[in-house]
Amino acid sequence: MKKPLSKQEVKNLLQKSEHNKVRVVVADIDGVMRGKFMHKQKLFSALESNFGFCNVVFGWDMVDDAYDNVEVSGWHTGYPDQEAYLDASTFRLIPWEKDLPFLIADFHNKDKNPFPACPRTLLKSIISEAEKAGFTPLFSQEFEWFNFKENPEELYHKGFDNLKPLTSGMFGYSILKSSEYSNFFHDLFDSMEKFGIPLEGLHTETGPGVYEAAIQYCEILEAADRAFLFKTACKEIGFRHGIISSFMAKQTQDLPGCSGHVHQSLWDLKKKNNLFFDPSDKNQMSELFKSYLAGQIHCLPHILPLYAPTINSYKRLVEGAWAPTTITWGIDNRTTAFRILPTGKKSTRLETRVVGSDVNPYLAMAACLASGLYGIKNNLKLEIQPTKANGYKDSGNGVLPTSLIEASNAMKTSPIAKELFGRDFVNHFTKTREWEWRQFASHVTDWEMKRYFEII
């Protein structure tokens, strides 16, 4: 793993760059990449202090409709600039943009306290708690997504209907189908590496035009940055091949959904010892690991929208579609919400399988870490037994909410959610989910027209 660059090292590289501009980006509450080009002379001063970024990015939804129910941003605030801070450690070059320089920023208030709606600063605050407790969290995320032989103009012309998948048929792990569009496949793998998002693996998944990528593990903030950048990078690389990539959790009821599983382990501060591993335990799980897992199990019903943030998310969480529906755990069991991988002192880890590909990686990883730390802090015991068979049939410890509004209402009123993330964040985030539900509920769908138009 490369050592992060300092501010001065970034300045030196920019001085030598043939480019006079830098792409600067932030993550909004949905994990959508927002940003702008900044002249490098402006960026030099921004690196030393901060710069203003319109706080409307936290006052509107993913299609730029202004929220009418949030407090941190809105017409009532006048949409002022929010103080944004560049993170020199995120510096990289965009290989498909002639090595254009690139940086990520996040937000704080004028008193230097975290801005309550900023996903990246929320994650940083939870990382700080882990480090104070003596832990280094190592994380990674994997994504499944659909690819289509389309362009953006055609998407809107077709009304997002009758899209042509990149490949046909059900060819999970197929070498044949990865060769069918090998230029795109190889470009993804190689360009991600150059962009600082090294992939552990890339393969076809079951379903027409479906790929899966596992990003290499690293310290949690860098892991979240990589996952956040991966989705937009995948789409930008796809544009150059006449391909549209989609990270919706559920594309169609006839096929499995798309996951965004998060892998995680806690190490000591020197990153020498995996604190989840205990060779004397029958499942190689340390007591710390068991408490961490117990925390995630306990907190899951209180924070589900952080793992399943959209209307569409809950159409993935259905029985028999490779996504969990029950609050369960198991040893290498892909039907449970939490999958334990006891694979030795270097790689024993937890895979949280509730997470969909439509997630905001900063919030998903914040949820995993915060709820795991909750279990450790409260010395929770792993009282439920591992599921050894079909997790869909094991509902004794509860089932997951089946809609965004149900899950959001549970989070909004949960003392645990407020303890984990703070009242201001929970208030803002759950209001944005309520907004999302209201937008959906107000629209007449094709299903309603076909079902009711003539017969009712």
pLDDT in tens, 104-158: 999 987 777 789 999 999 999 999 999 999 999 999 999 999 999 999 998 999 9
- On the question of pLDDT at 197 being above 70, the answer is yes
Q: Which domain holds residue 47?
A: 21-115
Of 161, 164, 159, the residue nearest 147 (C-alpha): 164
pLDDT score, position 110: 73
pLDDT tens readout for residues 16-75: 999 999 999 999 999 999 999 999 999 999 999 999 999 999 999 999 999 999 999 999
pLDDT score, position 288: 98
- On the question of pLDDT at 1 being above 70, the answer is no
What is the average per-residue pLDDT within 165-184? 93
Residues 304 and 187 reside in one and the same domain = yes
pLDDT score, position 18: 94
Residues 248 and 338 reside in one and the same domain = yes
Residue 274 lies in a domain: yes
pLDDT score, position 321: 87
What is the average per-residue pLDDT within 164-193? 94
pLDDT score, position 222: 98
Residues 421 and 298 reside in one and the same domain = yes
Average pLDDT across the chain, whole number:
96
pLDDT score, position 73: 94
- On the question of pLDDT at 244 being above 80, the answer is yes
Residue 213 lies in a domain: yes
Residues 248 and 307 reside in one and the same domain = yes
Residues 145 and 85 reside in one and the same domain = no
pLDDT score, position 111: 72
Residues 401 and 269 reside in one and the same domain = yes
Residues 187 and 306 reside in one and the same domain = yes
Q: For residue 223, give Cα distances in angstroms to 138, 292, 338, 448.
A: 8, 19, 19, 41
Largest CA distance in the chain: 70
Residues 156 and 258 reside in one and the same domain = yes
Q: CB under 8 Å, gap of 24 or more: what pairs does 161-170 form?
A: 163/244, 165/208, 165/209, 166/208, 166/209, 166/243, 167/204, 167/208, 167/209, 168/208, 169/208, 170/206, 170/207, 170/208
- On the question of pLDDT at 426 being above 80, the answer is yes
What is the number of structural domains in the chain? 2
What is the average per-residue pLDDT within 190-219? 97
The β-bridge relationship of strands 21-27 and 100-107 is parallel
pLDDT score, position 263: 98
**3-state DSSP call for residue 201?**
strand
Residues 141 and 201 reside in one and the same domain = yes
Residue 212 lies in a domain: yes
Residue 14 lies in a domain: no
pTM to 2 decimals? Answer: 0.97
CATH at 274: 3.30.590.10
C-alpha to C-alpha distance for 431 and 229, rounded to whole angstroms: 26
Residues 99 and 138 reside in one and the same domain = no
pLDDT score, position 200: 97
Residue 455 lies in a domain: no
Residues 153 and 281 reside in one and the same domain = yes
Residue 12 lies in a domain: no
Query: Helices in 246-332 by DSSP H: which ranges?
Result: 287-303, 313-316
C-alpha to C-alpha distance for 408 and 381, rounded to whole angstroms: 27
Task: Tell me how crowded residue 107 is: count the other CB atoms within 10 A of its CB.
Answer: 24
Residue 224 lies in a domain: yes
Residue 3 lies in a domain: no
CATH at 28: 3.10.20.70
